[in-house]
A = this chain, B = another copy of it.
Amino acid sequence: MSIETEAAKMKLVSPAMAALPISVRNAALSYIAEGLEENKEKVFAANREDLASAEESGLPEPVRRRLHYGEDKMHDSIEGLRELDGLPDPVGRVLLRRELDEGLVLTRVSVPIGVIGVIFEARPDAMVQVASLCIKSGNCAILKGGREAAQTNRVLFGIIRDAADRAGLPDGCLFQAESHSEIDELLKCDRDVDLIIPRGSNRFVRSIMERTKIPVMGHSSGICHIYVDRDADQEMSVGVILDAKTQYPAACNAVETVLIDRGIADSFLPKLAAALTAAGVQMRGTKEVGEKLEETAEKAEKSGKKPAGVPADFEVMGEDEFSTEYGDLILSLKLVDGVQEAVSHINRFGSHHTDCIMTENDEAARYFFSMVDSAGVYRNCSTRFADGYRYGFGAEVGISTGKLHARGPVGLEGLVTYKYELTGNGQTVGDYASGRKEFHHRDLC
């Protein structure tokens, strides 16, 4: 059957899925956890097949590492399911209750979005995580995993589908797409699929965004900045920059560019360079940064101190390279004239993800917070905090750099929308238009 037909069928099933009580949805999560536990060996065997094919076809080591699904990841999947089970129901929350007039009551209540298409690359753990987030939030889902993980995904999806059946989820609420051509089919289903969530590399996400009219929730790049103001605590700034760059360089919330107020370059740049070099971070930057580093090193040498970190591998970079996401131990550096120039640079070269100012000056911080057009604006802490778990959302659906619906780290609330319920006893608009009756709009909660 074509994906178009599947999606159309799923759309008709979605209200029944949305209407399930939370007990049924949570039961499905428990059964998935049980199923994983019971079918461990089957999953590992399928994963060994995928790994063998990956090795045969010469897939690079990082891809094979992501593909691997062993005891550790199985444990994480099961833990994740238990935690999700414990989270409050995102569906059926009353967001507004207002009496428009005597006996005419409006309620705005959260409901599942409907049909979600999820497309992910190699990681088989994504299959379990994403399916369980959709179940918890009462959504139907079409799941398409990477072909490298075909065997593992098939076994995992079987476990998920059995759990769904056992819990009493409606037939056809979950579907696994397996062939690559089905991605294009899925991206065309804008009548029946309400949302696409892509999980994978930046290039992968960007290509999905470019190929569909369905709303996409995700981010195609994370070019995060830290601006060190002239009123910054310099020692603190070095610590935060090191964390933001080195704690997990491949993450989208790792810092890629550090902007430094020209007024403190002489004192700050040598300290930062020394720390970065010691941490194995390669520095790139404008010609001015290079010259400043050299100059301060010479001064240090003359005054008898040992040269404070003139990095041998420093590279001069062009203006247009500042929108590069390294995802690695490489950092771009630039000097600016204060917070205004910093903000202009960030809004121009950034990806509207997460950007930070290091300063003890409240006014500079206020300016930065209001003028930087990003999902996250930070002061005096690492950009790496941009994460649904660290924000206390309990589960993370993804991080969105789009501005509509959900922005920044997205918890379960990103998988719900709302509907308006209006209950009356025969009210007609004619009575209000003619002035026989009047609205009084009294909020009941």
Interface on A for B, CB 8 Å cutoff?
Answer: 11-12, 14-16, 18-19, 98, 100, 104, 106, 113-114, 194-195, 210, 213, 215, 233, 236, 239-240, 242-244, 247-248, 343-344, 347-348, 365, 369-382, 384-386, 390-392, 402-405, 407-409, 417-430, 432-433, 439, 441
**Contact between B215 and A422, CB atoms less than 8 A apart:** no
Given A15-B343, A369-B421, A375-B419, CB of A247 within 8 Å of CB of B428 = yes
**Contact between A15 and B371, CB atoms less than 8 A apart:** yes
A250 to chain B, nearest CB (A): 14
Instruction: Point out the residues of chain B lying under 8 angstroms from A376, CB to CB.
Output: 419-422
A268 to chain B, nearest CB (A): 15
**Contact between A385 and B427, CB atoms less than 8 A apart:** yes
A199 to chain B, nearest CB (A): 18
A32 to chain B, nearest CB (A): 24
**Contact between B114 and A441, CB atoms less than 8 A apart:** no
**Contact between A392 and B429, CB atoms less than 8 A apart:** no
Instruction: Point out the residues of chain B lying under 8 angstroms from A233, CB to CB.
Output: 426
Instruction: Point out the residues of chain B lying under 8 angstroms from A425, CB to CB.
Output: 236, 380-381
**Option from B248, B408, B417 in Cβ contact (under 8 Å) with A403:** B417
**Contact between A423 and B382, CB atoms less than 8 A apart:** no
Given A15-B371, A98-B391, A347-B15, CB of A240 within 8 Å of CB of B426 = yes
Determine the residue in chain B with the shortest Cβ distance to A366: B19
With most chain B CB atoms within 10 A of its CB, the pick from A18, A98, A106 is A106
**Option from B106, B236, B390, B417 in Cβ contact (under 8 Å) with A391:** B106
**CA–CA, A106 and B354, complex, Å:** 13
Instruction: Point out the residues of chain B lying under 8 angstroms from A114, CB to CB.
Output: 373, 403
A249 to chain B, nearest CB (A): 12
Extra A-B contacts (17), CB below 8 Å, given A19-B370, A379-B424: A16-B371, A104-B381, A195-B403, A210-B213, A243-B430, A375-B419, A381-B422, A381-B424, A381-B426, A382-B427, A385-B424, A404-B404, A404-B405, A404-B417, A405-B405, A408-B419, A409-B420
Determine the residue in chain B with the shortest Cβ distance to A253: B429
Instruction: Point out the residues of chain B lying under 8 angstroms from A213, CB to CB.
Output: 210, 213
**CA–CA, A344 and B14, complex, Å:** 12
**Option from B100, B195, B382 in Cβ contact (under 8 Å) with A404:** B195
Given A106-B391, A390-B100, A407-B418, CB of A373 within 8 Å of CB of B15 = yes
**Contact between B423 and A379, CB atoms less than 8 A apart:** yes
Given A391-B100, A430-B243, CB of A215 within 8 Å of CB of B404 = yes
**CA–CA, A356 and B390, complex, Å:** 43
A348 to chain B, nearest CB (A): 7
A334 to chain B, nearest CB (A): 18
**Contact between B12 and A374, CB atoms less than 8 A apart:** no
Please give me the 9 A-B residue pairs with the lowest Cβ-Cβ distance, nearest first: A381-B424, A243-B428, A392-B441, A384-B429, A236-B426, A404-B405, A19-B370, A15-B371, A381-B427
**CA–CA, A386 and B421, complex, Å:** 10
Instruction: Point out the residues of chain B lying under 8 angstroms from A369, CB to CB.
Output: 421
**Contact between A439 and B403, CB atoms less than 8 A apart:** no
Give 13 CB contacts A-B under 8 Å.
A12-B348, A15-B343, A114-B403, A233-B426, A239-B428, A243-B430, A369-B421, A375-B420, A379-B421, A381-B427, A382-B428, A385-B424, A407-B420
**CA–CA, A243 and B437, complex, Å:** 14
With most chain B CB atoms within 10 A of its CB, the pick from A106, A369, A422 is A422
Instruction: Point out the residues of chain B lying under 8 angstroms from A236, CB to CB.
Output: 425-426
Given A15-B370, A390-B439, A425-B236, CB of A408 within 8 Å of CB of B420 = yes
